[in-house]
Amino acid sequence: MEIPSVDALLGRGVYYGAATTEAAGLRGEDVFVVGGANSAGQAAIHLARFVAHVILVVSGPSLAAGMSDYLVRELAVHPNVKVLLSTEIAEVRTDGEGRLRAAVLRDRTVGTTEEMPAAAIFALIGSAPRTAWLPEKVMRDPHGFILTGTALGSDARTSSDSPFATSLAGVFAVGDVRADSIKRVASAVGEGSAAIRYVHGYLAALGSPVPS
C-alpha cells in the first residue's frame, strides 16, 4: 500500500493476503479489507463469520468492475459488512503498545477523512511479480508477469507443445509468476507437476540425463 504507518504494522494488525488464519482471533472486533476484486470480497465474507463488522474499502466507484456478480449481491445484503466505494486508507493509528488501533479513511471524491476503529487491516490488492532478476530474453507482460506458450507469439516460442515454455529455451514458468495463470495454490501445484514432463523432454532432446 506504500503507506509508511501501514508498513510499520505488518504482522501486528496489517496483513497482505487472505484472512483465514487470523479471523478466529478477531472475534467481536472491527476489521478492514482493502480491495475490489473477488479475493477481497471472499475475505470480507469469511471474516464476517467471526468479527463484529467488516468494512470493505474500495478505491474505485463500483464493485462490479472487478468482482463477480454473486459476491457483489452477497456483500450488499450481508448484515455486518459495509462497503465504502471511492475510498482509501490514508494512514493508521496505533495503541500504546505499537499495535493497530484505528484507520484513517480518505474519500477520494471530496478529499475528506474519517478515523474509524480497526483491529486489523487485510490488503488484497493484487500482486507484483519479482521477475526483474531474469535476463531480458525472458519476455514479460507490462506488469512483469512471464509470458509462456501461445502468449509469446510464434516468433518468440521456443517449444511447440509446452504451455509453460518461456522465450528463453530451457526456462519454464508456472504458478502466480506466469501471465494469465489462475492465482491459486492448487493451480500452481498442478502447473508445476505438469511442467516436469516438458523439462524432461527438453533435457532428453539435449542428450542430458533426466533426473529420476
Q: Other C-beta atoms within 10 Å of 189: how many?
A: 12
Question: What pLDDT, in 10s, does the model give residues 58-104?
Answer: 999 999 888 889 999 999 999 999 999 999 999 999 887 888 999 99
Q: Flag whether pLDDT at 129 surpasses 90.
A: no
Whether the CB-CB separation of 105 and 3 falls below 8 Å is answered with no
Chain centroid to CA 10? 16
CATH class given for the domain over 4-123 = alpha beta
Residue 108 pLDDT class (50, 70, 90 cuts): very high
- Paired strand residues for 19: none
Residue 37 pLDDT class (50, 70, 90 cuts): confident
Query: What is the pLDDT, as a whole number, of residue 172?
Result: 94
Instruction: Report domain extents, the chain.
Output: 4-123, 149-206
Q: Flag whether pLDDT at 182 surpasses 80.
A: no
Q: Flag whether pLDDT at 107 surpasses 90.
A: yes
Pairing of strands 120-123, 14-16: parallel
Q: Flag whether pLDDT at 194 surpasses 90.
A: yes
Query: What is the pLDDT, as a whole number, of residue 210?
Result: 67
